[in-house]
Amino acid sequence: MRMIRKRTRTRAGGAGPRTRRRLRAGLGATTTALLTVTALAALPQTTAHAADTLGAAAAEKGRYFGAAVAANHLGEAQYTATLNREFNSVTPENEMKWDAVEPNRGSFSFSRADQIVNHARSRGMDVRGHTLVWHSQLPGWVSGLGASDLRSAMNNHITEVMTHYKGQIHSWDVVNEAFQDGGSGARRSSPFQDKLGNGFIEEAFRTARAADPAAKLCYNDYNTDGINAKSTAVYTMVRDFKSRGVPIDCVGFQGHFNSNSPVPSDFQANLQRFADLGVDVQITELDIEGSGQAQATNYGNVVRACLAVSRCTGITVWGIPDKYSWRSSGTPLLFDDNYNKKPAYDAVLSALGGTPGDGDPGGPGEPGDPDAACTATYTTAEQWGGGYNGRVTITAGSSPITAWSVDVTLASSQRVISVWNGSPTTNGNVMTVRSTWNGSLAAGASTSFGFTVNGGSTPPPQVGACTAS
């Protein structure tokens, strides 16, 4: 597992460091009586009540509502269940950055990013690519290159990464944070700026368009949320690009707010002036430090500002529960450490036109809900090079149950060849397993079902919420 390095940057209001940071089952009569999974295809995300989740409510407004996702949390049932239930877009938090995918020149590693992309697409979610050219989280070999080699390496990096994900990424942050803070409106010092000059941004966008003509190409930055010298410098660049036919489709506004750097009063006006240039605008990394009604009001105001601008196509929050935020001490997200919905969640859902619930983490059976009728916990029993045996333990809540069901989502390369102690059906790459003889459980009692998978032992399956009756 790669250690995520911290970066430090100066923000208005002084925000600090930021992390973007065989026991094989028999295959005879048991197998034929149970399951053979055929071709796995992408399954659109569905919800029981269209306006009861963030993603569904945003979709009704023609927008997406996404979250930054870390691959190392996808094995956590509560994390994955909340992601699957609430969001219709994901952004890899660190897994697509240069040091993660090309740690050595010409040697690419996509496994961690692939894990996120495969999970998102299996649930019908869009994916934002983050990020191709950025001064931070660069492997050391990049900074040591001369100008000619650096230009070649930059263009090759963009082309290789975008080609790998061609047709799978909704929009790319092609260049990230290329302008200085403060009132100068100048470009930030970086290996790219210092050795290639102002033209590196245009060159990066032209290279990106050639690599994947269908992807939306974005410029992304922070402290540009209101009308100020930095946002005006970005505005001037975008206006110039549009006038000369440089391919740019969208501008990302990160949206990291706190009491010292609040949501600016001209936030909507700033979004609108960029939209008037003919680009989409996106809120790409939203988190708002605080708590209670003050935090809820700020979140609601941001959502309403986006909805008021027709070309504001979506919002991404930078994380899911507070405990995994790069600003965790400021509790800046929509879910607390135990995945309970905060007042800010209800404010966002209301602003999107949805119907807020009672503030618990979801419907019956979802991980983290103390009143859940049942919970589901996954473990890998055995694994080998070509596959593994998985086990899911079902535990009744505070009341007896008579039946249960659980969704298990597999990677696109994997096939289930047998299931025991459960009755499976499939829809694309999602297997729904229902109880057979083991549906009746006393309060607090447990049972389990298992399955054998061929097609590789990683990534592990994603187990959704347990539903009981």
285 classed as catalytic: yes
Backbone torsions φ then ψ of 218, nearest 5 degrees? -120, 150
How far apart, in whole angstroms, are the C-alpha atoms of residue 399 and residue 293? 34
Three-state SS at 25: coil
Length of the chain: 469
Helix (H) or strand (E) holding 56, with range, is helix 54-60
Which residues in 352-403 belong to E strands, given as ranges?
Answer: 374-384, 387-396
Q: Is 382 among the residues known to form the active site?
A: no
CA pair distance 398, 16, nearest whole angstrom: 43
205 burial via Cβ count (<10 Å: 0-12, 13-18, 19+): buried
Cα torsion at 373, 377, 378, 379 (round to 10°)? -140
Laid out side by side, the sheet with 415-420 consists of 374-384, 387-396, 446-454, 415-420
Out of 76, 86, 203, 285, which one is annotated catalytic? 285
The token duo for 58 is: 């945003």
| Helix 292-308 and helix 267-275, axial crossing angle in degrees, nearest 10 | 20
The residue annotated as part of the active site, out of 177, 203, 289, 366, is 177
Catalytic residues: 177, 285
